[in-house]
Amino acid sequence: MKNSAKHYSPTPQPENGIAGVPRERNRLAPTELTDPELDDTEDDAGDEADGSASGAMPAQSDMAPLTLEVDSAAHGERLDKLLARHFKEFSRSRIQQWIEDGAVRVDGEPRRAKDAVQMGQRIDIQPQASPETHAFTAEDVPLDVVYEDATLLVIDKPAGLVVHPAAGNWSGTVLNGLLYRYPGSSSLPRAGIVHRLDKETSGLMVVARTLTAQTDLVRQLQARTVKRTYIALVWGQTPDEGTIDAPIGRDPRERTRMAIVHTNSGKPSRTHFRTLATVPLGRSKVSYVECQLETGRTHQIRVHFESIGHPLLGDPVYHKATQRGQRPAIRVPLPVPFTRQALHAYRLGLIHPATGRKISWEAPPPEDLQALIDALDFEGYEGEEDDDGAFDASQYDANGLYIGGGEDEGDDEDDEDDEDDEDDEGDEDDEDDEDDEDDEDDETDGEERDRKVGGKTAGGKKAGGNGRR
């Protein structure tokens, strides 16, 4: 079911390169970057080319004040239109923002953008630096670095932290923190960032520390040798395992969100998953799933699970059934407060750019998600499934895709058919962006079954149905 991976071979390294990189979580002292290659730039996979982090949009100092006296030709003209006409170097929307902020005075008094000016009036303007001018400045943003060497670092991003500056989040991002912690990263595209997580998604990210490493990691993302595994809590009882294969693009009716789009604007998207456990919660159920991405689209896991009627717990955007004839997921109050999507990138694996060795890290769920997992008590539940609520395999195809069916398909709660056949990047949240380029990690098929996932043992929960309680 997987697409064939593109060829990948590590970038040649000198014989005296880094010897051996441990798999376990390590903290090494930061190394100053003096590599002359950092003067070059290289765009990463799927992102816009924007030059170096420092040169794209430098911070501005206070700008010189401006003065204008209204002449007879401008008498009666709107204040914002007059200023936009005279000061063409500034956009009208920027000028309107200055007026609203009180940075524009007419005869010493603040005015509204739509107010008409009078001949002889004096207009004083104190230009303000736009928020985006601070996007590439160093800030002391705390970063949980779980591993670092001279080539790369791995961070455990908390929920609520934006990865890359964008509209509404021009500062306080992972990028700003990288520029503060590693001044040399200012010479790298996006300070070495090669992939993103949604703002409210927690978990592991890799960041390059040299241009050579960044180029190599980008190639790995394209070749799908970077393996990222997520854990998620979703509403309802999911199949034991499956693949969600549905194209994703911008929702043509609501451009701030993504959707399943069966037109040319939808990009091929695949999510592989297996169910670790399912527990009842009131008149609903909650499933604990492990996901791996074969492709990396914005909000991919969230969109895909919503599309099969199993939205993520706490997701404020993707929580409606989207297939015709599909019943909406039953959502009930959670046992503990939880105000974000229940999604965590808990495992990251890649080929080290310097050594060519496979290396991986794991990060346990953050406190809020772990508290929810504990409160749902997946390990403690030993009850039998009710006949009325039992999983009906006939409603899913061989790939785990919802196809409908069942006796009460048309009963009480019909779905709001608002995303079927509808229209990447963005990542921070996103994500954000979940800017992933992963497929299933064949290397982990055996030993991964016996590891613990967020305090819950994944081993023994087999895809054939024995893993359910």
Residues carrying an active site annotation: 198
What one-character DSSP code corresponds to residue 234?
Answer: E
Q: Residue 452: name the closest of 370, 342, 391 by CA.
A: 370
The residue count of the chain comes to 469
Residue 82, CB-side half-sphere exposure with 13 Å CA sphere = 29
In angstroms, the CA 164 to CA 157 distance is: 12
In angstroms, the CA 354 to CA 30 distance is: 17
Q: Which H, E and C letters describe 236-265, residue by residue?
A: CCCCCEEEEECCEEECCCCCCCEEECCCCC
**Residues contacting residue 387 through CB under 8 Å, at least 6 positions apart:** none
- φ and ψ of 416, to 5 deg: -90, 105
In angstroms, the CA 284 to CA 333 distance is: 10
In angstroms, the CA 2 to CA 223 distance is: 13
- φ and ψ of 322, to 5 deg: -125, -5
Q: Residue 223: name the closest of 301, 300, 294 by CA.
A: 294
Tokens 């590590």, located at residue? 10
What one-character DSSP code corresponds to residue 412?
Answer: S
DSSP secondary structure of 297-316: -TTHHHHHHHHTT-PBTT-S
Residue 199 · residue 184 · CB < 8 Å: no
Identity of the amino acid at 439: D
Structure tokens at 359: 């290396």
- φ and ψ of 374, to 5 deg: -65, -40
